Amino acid sequence: MDNHQKLHPTLASLIPLVHSMGKTLGKNCEVVLHEINQSVKTIVAISNGHVTGRSVGSPLVNEGLEAVRKGDQSDHIINYKNRSTDGKILKSSTMMLRDEKDEIIGCLCINIDISEFMIAKKVLEEFTSIEQNEVDHFHDTGYNSVSDVLNNLVTRTLEEFGKPVAYMNKEEKVSIVKKLDEQGAFLIKGAIDYVAKVLCVSRYTIYNYLDEIRANEPS
């Protein structure tokens, strides 16, 4: 309690927030409050300190300290890559805290251990990777007659949209059809049936989408 009373009121008021954030964000997220002045650069509150193995009283040893040393006037250093001493990969952010005289009195840091997510990302990338020969893919579904031009248009448009068809609502599918229509996709023979198959709707639904799109176009 005595130590807290010696802190700048702004820092002292943030201590409950540090612990609340740590509980809310979970065990992989370390939340740290540092005091910074001429003689002290140390941790005054920490939640989930196991992420970096630090505790109250440990020194400030991250990008925040480098910013202070260099006189960096940026108050927010967000989403930078960091590493713990035992090799964990961290996604970190440092927010400088200033007093009424605009002097730095401390910083609030968030360090998220993303090591397991990096492993999962690699596994998912390997699991979801597919060969780029979409023509062969559509042999199995009866679309071996679809031209490469149409196939490339549809593939590129879906990739730009960045969302699996299974998670698209009607408005999003209409948007896909509109983009394809603007690129002239439906001038290609078989395009209606092909796009209907890709978007998991009926060919009549594609016609309805096109009617809706063209009805809304300025005359």
**56 vs 127: CA distance, rounded Å:** 42
Q: What is the mean pLDDT of residues 14-30?
A: 96
The 10s digit of each residue's pLDDT in 53-99 is 999 998 876 555 555 445 555 678 888 888 888 888 899 999 989 99
CA–CA separation, 109 vs 63, rounded Å?
10
Average pLDDT for residues 19-40, to the nearest whole number? 92
Is residue 9 scored above 80 in pLDDT?
yes
Say if residues 44 and 106 touch (Cβ distance below 8 Å): yes
**What is the pTM for the complete model shown?**
0.58
Mean of pLDDT over the chain = 82
Residue 112 contacts by C-beta under 8 Å, 6 or more apart in sequence? 25, 28, 29, 30, 51, 90, 91, 92
β partners of residue 31:
47, 110
Distance CA 82, CA 93 (A): 9
**Residues 173-184 pLDDT 10s:** 999 999 999 988
> Is the per-residue pLDDT at 113 higher than 80?
yes
> Percent of the chain, pLDDT > 90?
41
pLDDT at 5 exceeding the cut of 70:
no
